[in-house]
Structure 1
Amino acid sequence: MEIRYLGTSGLAVGWLGLGTALWGRDTDEHEAAEQLRDFVESGGQLIDTGDAYGGGAAEAVVGALLAGRFARSDVVLAVKTGGGAPDAAAGDADLSRRGLLAALDGSLRRLGVDHIDLWQIDGVDPVTPLEETLSALDIAVSSGRVRYVGLANFCGWRTAKAAAWQAAWPGRARLISNQVEYSLLQRGVEREVVPAMRDAGMSILAWSPLGRGVLTGKYRTGIPADSRAASDHLAAFVQPYLGPESTRIVNAVCTAAQGLGVSPLAVALAWVRDRPGVGGVLVGARTAAQLRGILAECDLTLPAEISAALDEVSAVPSGYPERTAAERATAGPSPAFS
């Protein structure tokens, strides 16, 4: 598995990361152990978890596995937190210094480790100043509880502001990544978030690279009974990508896959992996069999003409002010205003 450095740091990871959002709820500890075994044996290292996953249950499962059959040194442990308690209501985000450091200590307890390799701040807190939120990152690193820091689901201007603040004074912990949803069905981050990250020397950690499972092609003829879209608690997560616009992109992916003699999953995964600025691609599987299917399909190199065709069919609308002056010039003169 290709090794990539995150941001301008010395933290190196295999490009494919393992997400644990379903662990402790849809995926029991036995299935999780099989997943982690197969992942590590394939050369994977980056394990992504968070206190919001299953109310802390995912972290507890990861901790149990690290305390048993897997060594702490086998993995690069990435943790997301919004600073709230694991049982906080959806949408709550306490990004105060007090809330974040308390949440970090809770994650360390559930994981049974003395440090986290990559701590990622998630969510929006309309009350706490961003500078206070970022000060918690500096404390976490200087205290030894965290090695590197990043963001999760930050918009473009907040990413740029946070990165600039952390780079403005010696001794502050530099941000190395922002974990965002990125796939052929979700390219909105290319407007502002990706340019802000690349300017700041940060890497993209792409979550849901398979379009919440839709890019596998499994929903082309209906909703399988054992799929996320058929689940009471995950159906709403998948539903936004089951419309006609998504169908057009999924059909293009399936056509490309047929021509290459591979699965749609392989095509969708390779497209994200090779996007500029991507440091890691996070996949989540409910079963060990599903993960093995992903691991078996992660070495595809997309021909340039197919990648370009997928770029075109999935392109997001862009205009003022995102487009450069040169691009706007080719579109013709702007209307005059008096």
Structure 2
Amino acid sequence: MDYRQLGSTGLRVPILSFGAGTFGGSGPLFSAWGQSDAAEARRLIDICLEAGVNLFDTADVYSDGASEQVLGEAIRGRRDAVLISTKTGLPMGDGPGDWGVSRARLIRAVEDALGRLGTDHIDLLQLHAFDASTPVEELLATLDMLIAAGKVRYAGVSNYPGWQLMKALAAADRHGWPRLVAHQVYYSLIGRSYEDDLMPLAADQGVGALVWSPLGWGRLTGKVRRDAPIPEGSRLHQTAAFAPPVEDEHLYRVVDVLDAVAEETGKTVPQVAINWLLQRPTVSSVIIGARNEAQLRDNLGAVGWSLSPAQIAALDAASAVLPPYPHTPYRQQEGFARLNPPLV
């Protein structure tokens, strides 16, 4: 397993991390993801650690805290061997103080997460969504307090608009508060919107990307093709309404090339899709999920090899879409590359 710095920090994270949304699954969405109990979670974590994957991502909203609780039970006795990333900010109840990232809500959310995880600190705390009702200074001052108290090591965001992330980074610099160092984002071969604004921002500001749903919400498993319906056991039957949208023809075009590259490399379609992401700028770690040992071992096979330049180019071409305004007119001009050199 290779390791990368998380953004511009000194924290080294594995290029693959494990998403614990499948732990303790309940409700219409999370039960479809997976329902691993502590014993099964412990086995999956054993496999991850054997492979060098030591970063585990969860959230308080995953199955109303059950994911954090199961993760905490599964890592008991080996806390020092793992990094824990969790998220907060989405509603955990119907009360006025049960959502958002106000000072009161954030402090209570961290204390609750620490209790469920059975630990005294969170390695990476991420704000699960932008909260327009909380001033950025209140948010950052609270994170500064939690970091100074040793309850949080690093802070980041998830699913943030670019201008709000930049606003927070500027405020942190202005007041001398810790910067947000990570952005957990949706990014896949059938969802490349991250590249338009968020990736250039991340490259410029040293924010590391933690990629969620690298297989396009289960559409890039190799089981969905233009000549085959969604398999009977696919979670897409229950979760498609929650997924980022994608046009069928775009999906099929990408899968056609994935099939060809998989045959050339002797790898599986998911392994090729994940490996492509690992070549992209600003990506610190790709979060893989698994409902069972077979899925996990297959996803772990995405590392230890590299796609060829020709294969990357073919996947780039098949997955490319015209970006939204204001990017489209300028990208079609000859001078665009001089104004915007490729990210490295």
**Fold match by TM threshold 0.5:** yes
More displaced stretch, 191-200 vs 236-245: 236-245
Which amino acid in the other structure matches residue 194 of structure 1? M
RMSD: 2.1
Distance across 2 between alignment mates of 1:211 and 1:298: 19
2:258 aligned with 1:253: yes
TM-score by length of 2: 0.88
Cα shift readout 1:130-188 (whole Å, capped 9, x = no counterpart): 22222221111011100111111112111111122112232x11211100001101110
Q: Distance in 1 between matches of 2:99 and 2:197?
A: 23
Q: Distance in 2 between matches of 1:325 and 1:250?
A: 29
Identify the match of residue 278 of structure 2 among 258, 267, 273: 273
1:289 CA displacement? 2.0
Secondary structure in structure 1 of the residue aligned to 2:143: helix
SS in 2 for 1:222: coil
In the other structure, the counterpart of 1:60 is 69
Offset of residue 326 of structure 1: 7.9
Question: Are the counterparts in 1 of residues 14 and 53 from structure 2 also a CA contact under 8 Å?
Answer: yes
- Tell me the distance in 1 between the aligned counterparts of 2:158 and 2:316: 24
Distance 1:194 1:297 in 2: 22
Q: Which runs of 5+ in 1 are unaligned?
A: 332-338
* Match in the other structure for 1:49: 58
- Partner amino acid for 1:65? A
Please name the residue that 2:83 is paired with. Answer: 76
Q: 1:63 to 1:88 in 2, by over 3 A?
A: farther
Q: What is the number of residues matched between the two proteins?
A: 323
Q: CA deviation at 1:38?
A: 0.0
Secondary structure class of the residue paired with 2:24: coil
Give the corresponding residue for 2:197.
Answer: 192
Matched residue type, 1:228: R
Distance 1:118 1:324, change over 3 A: farther
CA distance in 2, matches of 1:251, 1:57: 38
Structure 2: unaligned runs, 5 residues or longer? 26-34, 337-344
How far is 1:324 from its partner?
A: 9.2
Q: Is the 8 A contact 2:42 2:75 kept in 1?
A: no
**Could you tell me how far apart the structure 2 residues matched to 1:120 and 1:200 are?**
17
Identity in percent:
39
CA distance in 2, matches of 1:317, 1:308: 16
Which amino acid in structure 2 is aligned with residue 269 of structure 1? Answer: I
**Corresponding residue for 1:126?**
132
Q: Does residue 160 in structure 1 map to residue 173 in structure 2?
A: no
2:147 aligned with 1:141: yes
Alpha-carbon offset, residue 256 of structure 1 = 1.4
**Aligned-pair CA distance for 1:250:** 1.4
Residues 1:144 and 1:226: Cα distance change in structure 2 (over 3 Å): same
Q: For residue 282 of structure 1, what is the aligned residue in structure 2?
A: 287
User: For structure 1, which segment, 138-147 or 313-322, has the greater mean C-alpha deviation from structure 2 after superposition?
Assistant: 313-322
**TM-score normalised according to structure 1 size:** 0.89
